[in-house]
Amino acid sequence: MTNLIRLSGFALFLLGFSFIPQFALAQENARPEAPDEGQRLLEQGRDFAKNGRIQEAMQAFTRAAEIKNGRCAECFQSIGMIYFQVSQYQEAATAWQKAIALKPDNGGVLLNLLGVALYLQDDKKTLPEAITVFRQAIEASQDSLPKAHYNLGFALIKSGKEAEGVAELKKYLDLEPNSPTAESAREVIKHPKLASVQPATDFKVKGTDGKELSLKALRGKVVLLDFWASWCGPCRQEMPAVKQVWQKYGGENFVIIGINLDDSKSAFASYMKSEGITWPQYFDGQGWENKIARLYGVHAIPHTVLIDEEGIVRAVGLRGTTLYNKIADLLKQLKEQKSAATK
């Protein structure tokens, strides 16, 4: 696991697209503990994670939980986040169940996260459990988590309870009518079958060249969102592969949008120039708080989101040859569709 992962004060999404709400990893209003070995390991784990040393971070969090005799909700939350970021959803669910059992202050948020981990296992056995957990999240939070209604709506529709699912999505819109995912909810209400796919959350920003960048405007093209930073070693290692993709496929039917997480504009600009990067870029100088990174819940880089011509997310986190081949497949399908449409 060579991605760099940020583990504090962040938001996540379900495969892009707003299944998990913003939350702070640390328990809110928790009393500060006196420094001890367990707490030291917890802090050390955070430092390891921020620097991409994921296995060491996991070891530190696990050891911290052991030293605290399993009475460390924050340890299990951290362990769950690492598992989630590397798509090990069953393990993430187990870790979050342990955290929930300790009855932390943010239990509603954790229940919502648990529901997502169960949903993403894409198993008929865990889907009913995910629905139950989302309902528990709404109750535990005293209905202060609008995204739980969004999540519950999708889960219900996927389970065949279309009317109930649509009702939950309408509740979500009542609570957050102007959120980035409100449009997705409206589309699913109109066309419930869309709940089985993953629509990419739209955005409209200005690129570093002053031109507007919008997924809606790019409908009809295959789009790759590439999240990176000049200070990120794994990103630098991956950049030649991204260049190869652009050189091979960049053009009428395919575009890359780089989402840069640098704090320094000069560092970003210097790296762009030295590497000869020419595809569109979005930079706002906010680092991990980058607008689009937050929108897509990105806390590990390099990270990619591959979106088809209809605005549906087709893959997340692909790199190297796997990414190259997936793009080739999508472009082949798009070409065939265009060819068939002209006959």
In which domain, by residue range, is 312 found?
204-341
Task: Tell me the CATH number at 69.
Answer: 1.25.40.10
**Is residue 17 scored above 60 in pLDDT?**
no
Average pLDDT on 300-323 reads 90
The separation between CA 133 and the C-alpha centre of its own chain, rounded to angstroms, equals 20
208 with 176, same domain: the answer is no
H helix runs in the chain, sequence order:
37-50, 54-67, 73-85, 89-101, 107-119, 127-140, 146-158, 162-175, 182-190, 233-249, 265-275, 291-295, 320-341
Is there a contact between 250 and 256 (Cβ–Cβ < 8 Å)? yes
pLDDT band per the 50, 70, 90 thresholds, residue 35: low
Distance between CA atoms of 146 and 317, rounded to whole angstroms?
27
**Mean pLDDT value of segment 24-46:** 65
Residues 138 and 279 in one domain: no
227 and 188 fall within a common domain: no
The number of folded domains in the chain is 2
Catalytic, 75? Answer: no
Last residue of a domain, one of 172, 196, 220: 196
Judge if 243 and 335 occupy the same domain.
yes
pLDDT class for 52, splitting at 50, 70, 90?
Answer: low
Tell me how far apart the alpha carbons of residues 75 and 73 are, in angstroms, rounded to a whole number.
Answer: 5
Confidence of residue 110 (pLDDT cuts 50, 70, 90): very high
Q: Are residues 212 and 125 in the same domain?
A: no
pLDDT at 338: 84
- What is the pLDDT, as a whole number, of residue 82? 85
Q: Are 253 and 337 contained in the same domain?
A: yes
Identify whether residues 135 and 22 lie together within a single domain: yes
Among residues 143, 161, 196, the one where a domain terminates is: 196
Question: Has this prediction a pTM greater than 0.85?
Answer: no
Which of the listed residues 196, 226, 252 is the one where a domain comes to its end? 196
Amino acid at position 55, single letter: Q
What is the average pLDDT across 70-78? 95
Please report where in the chains the tokens 């081949």 appear, as a residue: 325
* CATH code for position 305: 3.40.30.10
Mean pLDDT of the region 245-274: 95
Query: Sorting pLDDT into bands at 50, 70 and 90, what band is 301?
Result: confident
Whether 300 and 167 share a structural domain: no
pLDDT at position 29 is 39
Residue keyed to tokens 């405007």 = 217
Say whether both 305 and 189 belong to one domain: no
Q: What is the DSSP letter of 312?
A: B
Of 328, 336, 294, 342, which Cα lies nearest the Cα of 9?
A: 294
Strand, helix or coil at 214?
Answer: strand
Q: Share the mean pLDDT of the chain.
A: 86
Catalytic residue among 145, 185, 229, 235: 235
Do 247 and 209 share a structural domain?
A: yes
CA atoms within 13 A on the CB side of 201: 22
31-40, 109-118, 195-204: the lowest-pLDDT one? 31-40
Same domain, 13 and 111: yes
**Domain shared by 145 and 22, yes or no:** yes
Q: Which of 58, 81, 130, 232 is catalytic?
A: 232
